Amino acid sequence: MAKRKLKKNNTYHSSSVASVKPKSQKEMAQTEKSATFALAVVALVVAVCVAPLAAEISSSDIHHHKHPSLKMDEAQLTVNNELSYEVQVSWMSQRCYQCLYQQLGVVPAGLGPGQPSSVNFVVSTQHEITLQINSTPIELELCKIPFHFGEHGNYSLWVKTLNASFGVNCSVVTDKDPVNSYIPILVAFLIYALLALVFAIGKKVWGLDAVRGLVLRLGSSMETERLINSELGPTRVVPPVTDNILPPPLTSSKRLRSLDTFRGISLVIMVFVNYGGGRYWFFRHESWNGLTVADLVFPWFVFIMGTSIALSINALLRAGATRCSLLRKAVWRSLQLFIIGVLVINPNYCQGALAWENLRIPGVLQRLAWSYLVVACLDLLVARGQLDVITVDAWWSPAIDFLLYWPAWLCVILLEVLWLFLTFQLPVPDCPTGYLGPGGIGDMGLYVNCTGGAAGFIDRLLLGEKHMYQNPSSRVIYATRIPYDPEGVLGSINSILMAFLGLQAGKIILHYRERPKSIMSRFLIWGLSLGVISAFLTKCSTDRGFIPVNKNLWSLSYVTTLACFAFVLLMLIYYIVDVNKWWSGAPFYYPGMNSILVYVGHEVFEDYFPFRWRMSNSQSHAEHLIQNLVATSCWVIISYLLYKKKIFWKI
């Protein structure tokens, strides 16, 4: 998502008037663990030592060009007015759908021919903006010009009278080139890619018999047998023939590494964006409709939770557990998640001690608790302890993973009908029925206090404004005024749907467990089907669809789109990690094995070293990126050490 390349000095932008198979040997497993830990340590050292050096190169360029008062994602704009009357400058972000223009300032009339009056303004560089120039006496639009300003750049907007007519010409000149704020991301990516490449090459080299023999000879004691081996050559143990022709015994409790790897990928990205993501806009949640990187990970985490529910309940039923005992465990686990979310990682701690009058009740763990409880209950309703592998000869095999669990699907469909009815039919005071917009300056400012429509109204009615999230992402672009909670009550229905689709993935794995190709094909079919539904609901647009993709609302199209991505991504990881053994899943596998501990820990220790420290320049993307990458890498290393010690926090 790179910004538009800006033109060089004295270049004008003008507008006219109107418009492997895993090694089974114990020694190799230990070596792989050591190598993985070494990679994590090296990555952390490089992130701390090398990345700041690379960032310093761009930092010197930043200090050379930027205006002293400019912050991140800001540029200086000087408006020069040569007209004989004052003009008003307004702006609107291109990411703001049907928004009112916001006033930037007024520029006095020119002093005379060739003597313009000038006023300096600070403008945002995150997205392309449209500048509007109006005459103040009669509110006449003189010109409108779209432009994407670059960070810490200096620009001039000239407002002149055309010589041959009474029209007005507006043009933007680049006085000083902006800095490339994306260089730190490129440097960080290259460093981590290089480390991954070195690790992969080192693993291949270590697998060579000659290299292993050399290392063993150098590190061993001078025993008689070793001396004999050094003369005759290293002995090579040939496995019995039966080891090559007999398949390994199947273990029902074998854990799929792809599931923990997928969960770990989601968790690592979630930790990174929660720590700030280098303060880049695409690592923050979208203001309203649309998707950013930050909007992907939570639904994926919910999805893989549903997959784990299917596998764990099936295993426990086969082990002899009763459904009542499993129901009690599900209720207790959900209660624990809810309590931790409300009392341990509540964002209200930023304001001091918790107090009931302003305690935020919804949250991420609370949403997980609710989704887990409902989906676990639905699975206990229909789960089977003994499953036969489905043969392709059966006429019902293409839909077996759906037909066997039709009562649960019926419940989910009824919940979705309830969501659609409340969203589009519930009357909301002073708001249009079925409103899905952000309010604020959106929709030409007609529905200022209608943020979220029915979803926001239900939360305010059931929870009260003081128990909701006070700083929603809609304030960034749409300048909304009222609280809105993205983990609210109505959106929880669609999070249940997301978890249930993950449960469906688990059922596919159970029914086709001896047919990897069938599992992958089913994942692909589900992914493509959900993608078609998303295309219909959104009309392949950001804002003009029947139901836009919206993380704040957890809209139906948001769930189908993210579930589509999840099925396809899980298929790829399953193929690479579990089928072909090309990748062990490291390092994401380790945080995926300890997900609750990593998530709660990164929230609780967010303000402690080494996860945060005082920066020399808090307005530098490079320094924020280094700090956030180091913090995330620390949690990966911690999860690896816990994995090595076999310490797992289970709720």
- The residues that are catalytic are 285
Nearest alpha-carbon partner for 129 in 121, 118, 140, 117: 121
Alpha-carbon distances of 421 from 424, 459, 491, 561, 585, rounded to whole Å = 5, 16, 13, 21, 42
Hey, what's the torsion of the CAs at 169, 173, 178, 182, to 10 degrees? 40
- What is the β-pairing status of strands 168-176 and 154-161? antiparallel
Q: State the helix-helix crossing angle for 364-382 and 406-425, rounded to 10 degrees.
A: 140
Using alpha carbons, select from 480, 478, 431 the residue that is nearest to residue 457. Answer: 431
Task: Give the CA distances from residue 528 to residues 314, 532, 564, 565, in Å, rounded to whole numbers and listed in that order.
Answer: 27, 6, 7, 9
CA nearest neighbour of 129 among 109, 118, 144, 113: 144
Coil, strand or helix at 143: strand
To which H or E segment does residue 569 belong?
helix 556-573
Q: Which helix (H) or strand (E) holds 331?
A: helix 323-343
Whole-angstrom Cα Rg for the chain: 29
Question: CB-based contacts of 638: which residues, under 8 Å, 6+ apart?
Answer: 598, 601
- Phi then psi for residue 531, to 5 deg, are -65, -40
Contact at 8 Å (CB) between 607 and 10? no
Nearest to 436, CA basis, from 550, 577, 588, 524 = 550
CA–CA distance, 114 with 464 (Å, rounded to integer)? 59
Q: Which residue from 618, 542, 461 is spatially nearest to 287, judged by alpha carbons?
A: 542
